[in-house]
Amino acid sequence: MSGPIKAEQFADWAYYPELLARPVPRYTSYPTAAEFVEESFELRQRISLGALTGPVSIYLHIPYCEEICWYCGCNTGAANKRHRLTAYLEALHREIALVADMLDPSVHIEHIAFGGGSPNAVPPTEFVRLIDALVLAFRFVRPALSVELDPRTLTRDWLTAIRGIGVTRVSLGVQTLNPAVQEAIGRVQPIEMIETAVAGLRAAGVGSINFDLMYGLPHQDDAVLAETLAQSARMGPDRIALFGYAHVPHMIPRQRRIDGSDLPDQRGRFRMAARGARQLMDAGYQAVGFDHFALPDDPLARAARSGTLRRNFQGFTEDPASTLIGLGASAISEMPGLMVQNEKNPGRYRMLIGADQLAGRKGLETTAEDARRAALIEALLCKGAAKIDADLLNAVRSRLEPFAAVGLVSLERGWLRLEAGAAPYARAIAAVFDAYRSEERSFSSAI
pLDDT at 233 over 90: yes
**Binding site, annotated residues for [4Fe-4S] cluster:** 65, 69, 72
Q: Which pLDDT value is given to residue 215?
A: 97
What total of structural domains would you count in the chain? 1
**Binding site, annotated residues:** 59, 65, 69, 71-73, 116, 148, 175, 187, 212, 246, 332
Range of the domain at 305: 33-327
pLDDT at 5 over 50: no
Rg (CA), the chain: 21
Between 254 and 192, where is the model more confident? 192
CA-based nearest residue to 340, from 99, 122, 26? 99
Residue 59 domain-assigned (yes or no): yes
Between 421 and 114, where is the model more confident? 114
pLDDT at 7 over 60: no
CA distance 34 to 263: 26
pLDDT at 421 over 50: yes
pLDDT digits (tens, 9 = 90+) for 171-182: 999 999 999 999
**Binding site, annotated residues for S-adenosyl-L-methionine:** 59, 71-73, 116, 148, 175, 187, 212, 246, 332
Q: Which pLDDT value is given to residue 73?
A: 74
CA distance 9 to 78: 41
Residue 248 domain-assigned (yes or no): yes
Asked whether the beta carbons of 33 and 340 are under 8 A apart, the reply is: no
pLDDT digits (tens, 9 = 90+) for 262-308: 999 999 999 999 999 999 999 999 999 999 999 999 999 999 999 99
Q: Which pLDDT value is given to residue 54?
A: 87
pLDDT at 183 over 80: yes
CA distance 101 to 283: 48
Cβ atoms within 10 Å, residue 285: 25
State the average pLDDT over residues 408-419: 95
Residue 125 domain-assigned (yes or no): yes
CA distance 360 to 341: 5
CA-based nearest residue to 112, from 168, 172, 187, 49? 168
State the average pLDDT over residues 312-325: 92
Q: Which pLDDT value is given to residue 444?
A: 61
pLDDT digits (tens, 9 = 90+) for 105-136: 999 999 999 998 899 999 999 999 999 999 99
Asked whether the beta carbons of 61 and 113 are under 8 A apart, the reply is: no
Domain containing 292 — which CATH number? 3.80.30.20
**Which pLDDT band holds residue 10 (cuts at 50, 70, 90)?**
very low
**Which pLDDT band holds residue 446 (cuts at 50, 70, 90)?**
low
Residue 378 domain-assigned (yes or no): no
Residue 177 domain-assigned (yes or no): yes
Residue 382 domain-assigned (yes or no): no
Q: Which pLDDT value is given to residue 71?
A: 82
CA distance 406 to 189: 42
Q: Which amino acid is at 224?
A: V
Which 8-state DSSP code applies to residue 285? P
**Which pLDDT band holds residue 417 (cuts at 50, 70, 90)?**
very high
Q: What is the pTM of this model?
A: 0.91
Q: Which pLDDT value is given to residue 167?
A: 96
Residue 102 domain-assigned (yes or no): yes
Q: Which pLDDT value is given to residue 410?
A: 96
**Which pLDDT band holds residue 1 (cuts at 50, 70, 90)?**
very low
CA distance 120 to 357: 27
Q: What is the mean pLDDT of the chain?
A: 92
pLDDT at 363 over 50: yes
pLDDT digits (tens, 9 = 90+) for 23-55: 899 999 999 999 999 999 999 999 999 999 989
Q: Which pLDDT value is given to residue 252?
A: 86
CA-based nearest residue to 314, from 133, 144, 193? 144
Residue 369 domain-assigned (yes or no): no
pLDDT digits (tens, 9 = 90+) for 133-155: 999 999 988 889 999 999 999 99
